[in-house]
Structure 1
Amino acid sequence: MLTFCSRAQSAHAPSFELVNGAAEAHAETPARLANMLAEMGEVREPADHGLAPIVAVHDPDYLAFLQSAHEAWLGAGREGDAIGYAFPVRGRRPLDLERIDGRLGQYGFDTVTPIAAGTWEAAYGAAQAALSALDAVASGALRQAFALCRPPGHHAGADYFGGYCYLNNAAIAARAAAARGMGPVAVLDVDYHHGNGTQDIFWEDGSVFFASIHADPRTDFPYFWGHADERGAGDGEGTTFNQPLPRGTGWAEYEPALGKALEAISRFGAKTLIVSYGADTFADDPITQFALTTDDMERVGAMIGAAGLPTVAVMEGGYNVTALGRNVAAFIAGLEGG
């Protein structure tokens, strides 16, 4: 499958994250990208589409902040990565959360997403990879294309970052597809974690359907989004479809959930599909709790491919670096074969 990836995506190399009360080695490293590239076929450098398609999703002031944050951090006499420690309450609703992680986090989002020296360049390159994959599909020459994005994007909202994400690559591709007359557009998120940023961006946008299969946010990040009763609002009422699943979910439980998501996308009448693909549903991922195998990754791809829609797949999470490349390759093989 034709794959796009920017050389700049290796520039983002945060040294640590603050999680569960301790500084730990950051899970989202350049080694992820190297492992995936080793398993890919043809990989092309993306074209530069500029800021316009990014501004169509993200607030300009937020983008200016991302571009200048690390320089401002150094200018204030600090060293290393820029990482916050005080957060405003952006919005909340009563939720019965189970873990202390979530309850503490009701007041912030988050301390695991530092801005390092090359963060903007990497995030910008990842967005260009998603847009170039869309170009390949929009031309009609290909039915499917893959954007090997890193850092990931689905936790980034219009004006916020978190969950290792800075620019929402899937949302950028989806909005660009709609602007090119490829709608109705659907985004299918099959990462372990809920794509809260994507949901927020299209919450009131009835032209884009968002379907997500993910770990139950009562127990897992991002906690405050992704509950089953979240369905969109305004013009977007009914165009958000969340299926939270319990820890330990294997293929027997995952397959019917994926089938329901694809049925909902079909009922919506989608003409173009953007897939937020995360390999962190893998049984041996170090920071997640599902139980899918490498063979299951291929099954996920095959079911999505069988939908027969022009498809742009965008890479999200997956943190078992040793297995990551082969899991992504299995997903792509299934997508092509489906």
Structure 2
Amino acid sequence: MTLSIIQGGLAGAQDAPRTIRSKTPLTTPSRKATEFSPSRLLWARDHSMMTRSELAHAANVSVSALAGYEQGRTVPAPATQERLAEALGIQTHFFSLEELDEICPEAVSFRKASKTSKKHQRAARGDARMAVEIFHLLEKHFKLPSPQVPSLSGFTPTDAAELVREEWHLGDRPITDMMSLLESKGIRILSLDHRYTDVDAFCFTQDTTPYIFVSTAKSGERQRFDLAHELGHLVLHSDDDESTGSKEREKEAQDFASAFLMPASRIYTQNMRNAHIQRIIEAKAYWRVSAMAMAYRLHDLGLLGDWQYRTTAVELTKRGYRTGEPDGIIPERSQLLHKVFHALDKHLTIRDTANALGIQRDILRVYLRDLTIGII
């Protein structure tokens, strides 16, 4: 069985279709079972955002006993594992699957690390570990696109954006479907848990495979910009050992996203100097970006002066473009996940996939939230 994946949904051109092939019957992603996995207990507690004492109380165990389980010093009895699983909302056999892959804390890039609660950071890093688990499972049954994200550390954001566009044969036209483009280049995308209100999006790379978690609670325009922003981190900072969340890194990722989505070569041909509000709104619809991002780009390119940019931002705010995007685009969806979980004759079901992962269906649905339809 073969399946064509649209390569990025580019405006006017796209690469040759890539195929996904079903491989084997659905099985657990683990390569080796274990009696009890401390890393999975820690993951489940972080995902539930429970303190050790809260989980100990909910599972009717002592705090010291729970610490022993998490540190791998002791193994809980089967009855205790059942109580822990019930308290954490996961399936009991989750604990006996292989240890979860380690994700280096520095590998996960948070946009506002200093303003993100430690609880949410731990839970989000746990999601990164589960993302690797989910896609390991998918790769057992389907051929997914291989990573094709260049590493351009040391380049300016603008130069890097132009080089990526050139390497991916995008020209200087608007990108019709940003999410499908990134998926076609081997980037694995999942939905950010809506509980993390202080996390915009984040990315990381594990075993050369890039991952992005994106918020599906935002407008389609801002979601596209977030994807481009995280792509900027993957391109510019893949070899960067600097601590995450620095203002300089975030500014670089923002400038990359702006240049990637709105290439200067085309902007300069569109008569945008001293553009009035209505012209900016028309242009933002053409480029499929937010009105604020459009105004920022024009200012960055010197097409709007400082005073014009400030007054434009004030007027856009009055019209509701600061917190929303009136008459905005429909948020993009994952073509890859839609086909894997819905469109194929032998697609995966949420029930079987969740069982293989050892988690409840509701947890898996959070990772797929608003990225695909037809999930039951």
Q: Larger helix proportion, structure 1 or 2?
A: 2
TM-score (norm 2): 0.29
TM-score (norm 1): 0.31
Q: Larger strand proportion, structure 1 or 2?
A: 1
